[in-house]
């Protein structure tokens, strides 16, 4: 019995599934966000998981860093040509990449939202984007001038913009 055709078909199917799973909805170019860059955020999940995120424009790219409350980097990524590229020696973590992609989705400026997320819907401060196979849905809602709620699959996140050191805060 020759197993080569079965093995190659199985390998091709796994590669196809992996490539489908790897696609996160990301803007093709540097997104216009509803907050000025650089920006720092506090992200808290309903299950008590917390992170700090830093977004910085770097020419035509966007640098995104996710830090634990102790300051340990959880992800360092650069948005380049619509995909995340690792920035440094970080172990790939799909959940953290999705969290940063979801943060961009929640923060996308309303004026360019349709261009950056053509498959998404937006109505009165609420957004929804469903994608992939199996279908995954992201939902976001603006809850204040510097606060958002983000639901990634089944995890709910509360996002707060942190004041920057250089500006006076009222």
Segment 61-94, tens digit of pLDDT: 999 999 999 999 999 999 999 999 999 888 889 9
Considering only CA atoms, which of 42, 86, 44 is closest in space to residue 61?
A: 86
Higher pLDDT, 58 or 23: 58
Segment 17-37, tens digit of pLDDT: 333 454 899 998 888 999 999
Look at residue 168 and tell me whether its pLDDT is greater than 70.
no
Sorted by where each begins, the domain ranges of the chain are 27-162
Q: Give the least confident one: 5-9, 10-14, 64-68, 87-91.
A: 10-14
Q: How many residues does the chain have?
A: 170
Specify whether the CB–CB gap between 21 and 13 falls below 8 A: no
pLDDT of the residue at 166: 53
Write out the E strands in 38-82. Answer: 39-45, 50-58, 61-67, 73-80
Distance CA 6, CA 15 (A): 14
């Amino acid at each position: 019995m020759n197993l080569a055709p079965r093995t190659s078909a199985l390998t091709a199917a796994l590669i196809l599934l992996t490539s489908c799973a790897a696609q996160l909805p990301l803007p093709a170019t540097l997104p216009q966000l509803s907050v000025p860059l650089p920006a720092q955020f506090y992200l808290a999940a309903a299950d008590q998981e917390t992170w700090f995120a830093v977004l910085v424009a770097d020419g035509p790219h966007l640098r995104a860093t996710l830090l634990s409350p102790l300051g340990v980097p959880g992800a360092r990524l650069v948005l380049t040509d619509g995909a995340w590229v690792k920035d440094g020696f970080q172990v790939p973590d799909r959940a953290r990449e999705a969290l940063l992609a979801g943060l961009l989705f929640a923060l996308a400026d309303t004026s360019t939202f349709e261009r950056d997320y053509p498959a998404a819907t937006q109505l009165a401060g609420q957004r929804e984007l469903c994608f992939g196979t199996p279908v995954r849905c992201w939902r976001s809602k603006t809850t204040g001038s510097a606060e958002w709620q983000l639901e990634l699959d089944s995890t709910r996140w509360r996002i707060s913009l942190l004041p920057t050191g250089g500006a006076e805060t009222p």
